[in-house]
Structure 1
Amino acid sequence: MSEIKDNYIDTFFRCATDKEQICEEMVTDHMLAYIVSGEMVVYTKNKRVTLRKGEVVFMRRNHLANKIKQPGKKGEPFLGLFLHLNAPMLKRISSQIMIPDVPLSAALKESYLVYLPQHPFLTGLFQSLDQYFSSGQYPSKELVDAKLLEAVLVMLQLKPELGRLIFDILDPWKPDLADFMNKNYTCDLSVEQFAHYTGRSLSSFKRDFSELFHETPSRWIIKRRLEEAYTLLKQENAAPSEIYLKVGFKNFSHFSTAFKKQFGISPSVIWK
């Protein structure tokens, strides 16, 4: 079977497949993922993680993630349950509960993906949600809201330091522009999307970018991608045909022409 996705009010998702399925997406909301069977390999900017049967992870919003959903080692099909925690819902919950004031560790601050301990509270939560899809009896919005509140409370009980990550929506979200761009310039995003994911209007993004980098976003992105390509060619002896996609170019001819224009030499000469 190809991938089968069930979606309930863009909040609860159930994905099943018996073949490898690859998807790349910007994670725009916080998300809780539970692997019922099979495996899911997740590539973020700074790590590769393989999630296996019974594991639960919290995925932070506003980052690009490549996911490979695949059968397990013994051939069992992939089945994953995903719960999206959107900003309006989290703002409502923040007025109902006491958020733990636990400092974030340096490791958590840099993590896009956080493992949660395997616990009956979490498995029970997802099993109860999955029953709605299995029975065809969909819950009311009020019941879904109650389940989302339950999910947040369980996470905070099992890992209190997550409070500051989960409720980062309470602060005006405007991440460090230099840090975000230097981590994500190879991502397949338009200038408009870069503006959105850095919490700025397009005009504010261009203004802030010019003040910081003294260059237009498009020129800076191409320049940084070419510099990264040059480094890979020199230090890792990678072939030009292998790296142009890795650094963010979609077309090899465009990459080769831009490389020669910037460095005065073709990428194949550097590689040799």
Structure 2
Amino acid sequence: MEHSGPGWVVVGVDGSDSSRHALEWSAREARSRGAGLWIVTALEIADPQDPFAGPVAPADVEESPQFREGQALLDYAERWVGRLYPELEVRSRLVLRSPAEALLEAAEEPGAAVVVVGSRGRGTLASAFAGSVGVELAAHSPVPVVVLPKRHEVAAGTRERVVVGIDGSSASENAVEFAFAEAARRGTELVAVCAWQPITAFALTMGPLPAEVFDEDPVAESARQTLEEAIAAPRERYPGVLVNVRTVRSHPAAALLETATPTDLIVVGSRGRGGFTGLLLGSVSQSVLHGAHGPVAVVR
């Protein structure tokens, strides 16, 4: 799929309040990027002869109530966006597979810039773009994934910022680069957060400890150095971005959630330096996805 501007913002919809919020956010995002908007819904139809066999696509699928409902949703979404943002190029696709597969397929298309999904789906159409879909997308998507909260919340009197979590991992490096680019494009402040926890929090079960273990200054200093090293190069590439640097004595997820308001965009890496490779996402990114009151971008 080609687009004359800088790619496409892909959004999954299922008719839920959460996906309507995602659609509205995505339309604004596409307009600000000068990109096109690609609306996707997914349809799984179970085999009536074998409910344990999984979804199938019967020959007359286009005549099914589910297909007509899905197509009607896409038509409505296109008209709604067209009324609000007539300048946007809008396309839609109904895919006969699971929501995660449908959006991953779109994310792999040339020109896809970001994929947006609501955190809670309706549960009736296309298996819903629910929280688990956002986690699977964030773990596998080749482009950043933005997950919107289940309810649209506002923070009156606050200005939008970009809040990025830093831990020195490769995913964190990619998240920092994305965060700087977003802050520059939005013309807003970047808040760089590196959280640290006392070594004693992990070592008290190991028996008697030497006195130096209780000295928190080296841990705090290491966090500060990690943060400064992570932002040094991007800071030079984006000299116009105002950076607010914070090292916080806290769990990383708690530090990000306490720093951000519902207006802010939180940016995290998909897996930190302490993550297990067998997990879909790192524990920090999952905790932030589940606890945030505003949009969260997960970057691999």
* TM norm structure 1: 0.25
The structure with higher relative contact order (CA 8 Å, sep 6+) is 2
* TM norm structure 2: 0.23
